[in-house]
Structure 1
Amino acid sequence: MAEQVLALVDCNSFYASCERVFRPDLAHTPIVVLSNNDGCVIARSAEAKLLGIKMGEPYFQIRDKLRRHGILAFSSNYALYGDMSQRVMTTLEGMVPAIEVYSIDEAFADLTGMPGDMEALGRAMRARVLRWTGIPVGVGIATTKTLAKLANHSAKRWQRQTGGVVDLRDPDRRDKVLKVTDVSEVWGIGRRMTEHLAEMNIRTALDLAQADAWTLRQKFSVVVEKTARELRGTPCLELEEATPPKQEICCSRMFGKRLRELPPIREAVATYAARACEKLRAQQSMCKRVRVSIRTGMFNPDEPKFAKGVVVELPYPTDDTRLISKAAADGLELIYREGFAFSKAELLLLDLRQRGEFTDDLFAVTQPEASERVMGVMDAINARWGRGTLRPGGVPEEPDWGMRREMISQSYTTRLDQLWPVKAE
């Protein structure tokens, strides 16, 4: 049986790279991307990192610093990022037998049994993704997921020397990298675990790989034991080609401004319910409970504080946006209080199961077939003509409570009126 070979392909500064694809004039300009409502930094280009911009810094605190250094800030454009991610993943799928999409900007690729030089294949993957999508990536190759993650980290850490591709299948090369890598850089080892490992004099990735697996399991968990085994080259984590259905679906946003009246908050909750139900139907699940919650801002000492949530039981398992939106609105009526300036609402779909997994009695009420047909038609129309083309009446097209995104770029690939213009010379 052929030895398992995996590659982790990770996009470099993904959000910032997406902003550059259709703006070649920004190729060497430092860029940061901001969170919802232009709150804080969630992505930085390499140039911005070198200028000392940190993840999570509030935009209002560093606005002058960005201006002084010529750093360009963008509001988050998730429609663009999601579409560019899909293009990257589709490109990878055409080059390898199977991939596992791990996040919006990275995927594990199965290279087991593929002929030729693996490092050359990694360079070919990197070149094709850049040529077809404009997104630069790093490629880490190894025999386990944890080592592939570490190889990818090394490819970015020493990009000039490695050309963005590192193969750690060779034991000697693997141990050299493990020796110079802090244990905190290992996939799944957080800050608190790093402190606990330091008490055992485990400070590098090589120390963790050489530690006794049974002791790690007894002192910490089976997860840490598996991590150590994977660092030695023993596969413990399988490639998951199909993403398992989520057990909960959450949709939550900060409002673009404080809301005091119930009607606009009701609109926001209806909007979040519609989006959550789209995700619910996409994974072929049904929902039995809905939790809706609202809260004020928690950090302004001059504002009164209030936060409350409620769980609403649905009459039967459903994926019908109309029923779930009504339940959320009913819950909102119960928890809303006058006199507060609300900053955020959250909708959580609970008790999710696949169709046929709910085992009610013979006479229990079930979702009508007409509901399934209506939701199917709505999803088909929105899939063809764009999200929001057909939506519940309580969901506004352009709400005044929506997110502040004053520096958002064009969508380029997802809206006909924002396609990239090309001028003939």
Structure 2
Amino acid sequence: MNPISSDIYALIDCNNFYASCERLFAPRLLNRPIVVLSNNDGCIVARSNEAKALGLGMGVPFFKHRNVIESNNVAVFSSNYPLYADMSKRVMQTLELFSPQIEIYSIDEAFLKLNGTPENLNLFGHKIKETVYKWTGIPVSIGIAKTKTLAKLANKLAKKLNHFNHVFDFSSLTNPDHYLKKFPVGDLWGVGSRYQKLLISKGIHTAYDLKYADPYLIKKYMTIQGKRMVLELNNTSCFELEEAPPTKKGIICSRSFAKAIIKQEKIKQALAGYVARATEKLRKQKSVTAYVSIFLRTSPFKGGFYSNSNGLKLNAPTNYTPRLIQVALYLLEAIFRKGLYYQKAGVMFSDISPMNQKQQSLFNYPQNHSKQDKLMQTIDKINKTWGNTSLRFGAEGVDKRWKMAQENLSPRYTTSWKELPLID
């Protein structure tokens, strides 16, 4: 017999986050349908409720919905990552006031552990929701339960069922099976399309069916994660908060170009920029890399397709951007072919280890490492304060016409002094 959890988890999810960020600084968009597009303005990656009501699908290429979008006065935005990241940070900082135990699950989701909360949990959830909206302008939905799996489930119901007003305390239900019987198994956290098909083939169609399935049989189908899911549906907590994000084993930065590039110099500038972004992530998690690889390719939809990659093991791991740019550009020389129109390039770091375990090179003095670390810390600090391209490396170039298309980009209202919102 597994013990019923005494923990209480809340899953806070920002509603239509990208669209909500755009609407926040443009009140004229209230009640107007909004869509946000992916890199190079390719596919729809976020929709307001009004856009969903028009049948605009998630992940669908923009051009396929162009007629519907134009005929219904839908507001279209390119992804404004600096704005979304900053608003996410503000939401998460607000949530930290309600619990010292927080797991930032994604840019628009976080788990809180609410153990010891003296108040009525439903009222407390509404207090969180109202505070986040008052302080940041971002609407959220909240699911509360004794396990993370049930908190995710409760959050989906809080969004779907209007009478909950976006807060659902699943932990207080006397008959939770009433909701589990109506909840499709494929909508459960951790059940992808492959497991959904497998479970349905075994007669498991709902969360209720999975709750009362044999956990050891489910383990056979879905590994230990499946068994834990069954236990979590029965109020036995198996997934703890990850309060510190796990260190990434690999870091990749790549983009498709707005227009195909034929000049090697432009490819070099793009790669240098990708290295700069990737090393920033590397330093943020206090890591170094010992292996650098790059790739580039032409369009797979045009004749003469070419794709290649190249990599190098470093003699000493590092997170020093100039050194890693130097390596990436060296690797490019061996795989670049003249006369081709390249559509995409990227860089990847692997063999990642903590900075405090960094192996010193025989030919590099400790004082050099100290100077390099201080220089990178200064650059990171300035870019964090003034925007991530305030200081750039010369190899990144100045002409950025090759960058990904962002024809409908809104201002960086909260991270650029030049783009502050204006009030008439």
User: Match for 1:318: what amino acid?
Assistant: T
Q: What 5-or-longer segments of structure 2 have no aligned partner?
A: none
Residue equivalent to 1:401: 402
Question: Hey, what does 1:372 align to over in structure 2?
Answer: 373
CA distance in 2, matches of 1:281, 1:33: 30
Structure 1 counterpart of 2:386, one-letter code: W
Aligned residues: 419
SS in 2 for 1:123: helix
1:181 maps to amino acid:
F
Shift of 1:88: 0.6
Q: Which moves more between the two structures, 118-127 or 312-321?
A: 312-321
User: Does the 8 Å CA contact 2:34/2:47 hold for their aligned counterparts?
Assistant: yes
Q: Percent identity?
A: 41
Q: Answer yes or no: is 1:22 the counterpart of 2:3.
A: no
SS of 2:36's partner is strand
Mapped partners of 1:32, 1:171: distance in 2:
36
Residue 396 of structure 1 and its aligned partner are, at CA, apart by 2.5
From the superposition, tell whether residues 169 and 237 of structure 1 become closer, same or farther in structure 2 (CA, over 3 Å): same
Cα separation, 2, equivalents of 1:306 and 1:406? 28
Superposed displacement of residue 346, structure 1: 1.1
Preserved CA contact (<8 Å) 2:318 2:358? no
Distance 2:294 2:322 in 1: 15
Among 292, 295, 298, the alignment partner of 2:294 is 292
Q: Which amino acid aligns with 2:284?
A: A
Conserved 8 A contact 2:51-2:74? yes
1:75 alignment partner AA: S
Q: State the TM-score, normalized to the length of structure 2.
A: 0.95
- Residue deviations 1:59-108 (CA, integer Å, cap 9, x gap): 12222221012211111101110011011111111122321100000000
- The question of whether the paired residues in 2 share the 8 Å contact of 1:73 and 1:407 is answered with yes
1:358 CA drift (Å): 5.0
Does structure 2 retain, via aligned residues, the 8 Å contact 1:140–1:150?
yes
The answer as to whether partners of 2:386 and 2:416 remain within 8 angstroms in 1 is: no
Q: Partner residue of 1:41?
A: 44
TM-score normalised by the chain length of structure 1: 0.95
Match of 1:347? 347
Match of 1:93 among 85, 88, 96: 96
Deviations 1:389-410 (A, max 9, x none): 2221111345110111111111
What are the equivalent positions in structure 2 for 1:302-381 lying under 5 Å apart?
A: 302-358=302-358, 368-369=368-369, 370-381=371-382
Secondary structure of the residue aligned to 2:103 is strand
Q: How does 1:16-415 map to 2 (within 5 A)?
A: 16-158=19-161, 160-170=162-172, 172-298=174-300, 300=301, 302-358=302-358, 368-369=368-369, 370-415=371-416
What secondary structure does 2:171 align onto?
coil
1:352-411 deviations in Å (ceiling 9; x for gaps) = 000233568x95867732322222222233233332222211113451101111111111
* Alpha-carbon distance in structure 2 between the residues aligned to 1:140 and 1:16: 21
Q: Is the 8 A contact 1:2 1:112 kept in 2?
A: no
What displacement does 1:170 show?
3.3
Any idea what the Cα deviations from partners look like across 1:237-296, whole Å, max 9, x if unmatched? 001111121111111111111011211001000000001011111111011001100011
Secondary structure at 1:177 match in 2: helix
Which deviations, in whole Å up to 9, do the C-alpha atoms of 1:191-210 show, x marking residues without a partner?
11111111210010010111
CA deviations on 1:154-187 (whole Å, 9 max, x unpaired) are 00111x2110001111353421111100000000
8 Å CA contact retained: 2:153, 2:188: yes
Alignment gaps of 5+ in structure 1: none
334-343 vs 367-376, which moves further:
367-376
The one-letter code matched in structure 2 to 1:244 is P
TM-superposed deviation, 1:125: 0.6
The answer on 1:13 being equivalent to 2:13 is: no
3-state SS of paired residue (2:155): helix
SS of match in other structure, 1:172:
coil
- Whichever residue aligns with residue 64 of structure 2, its letter is Q
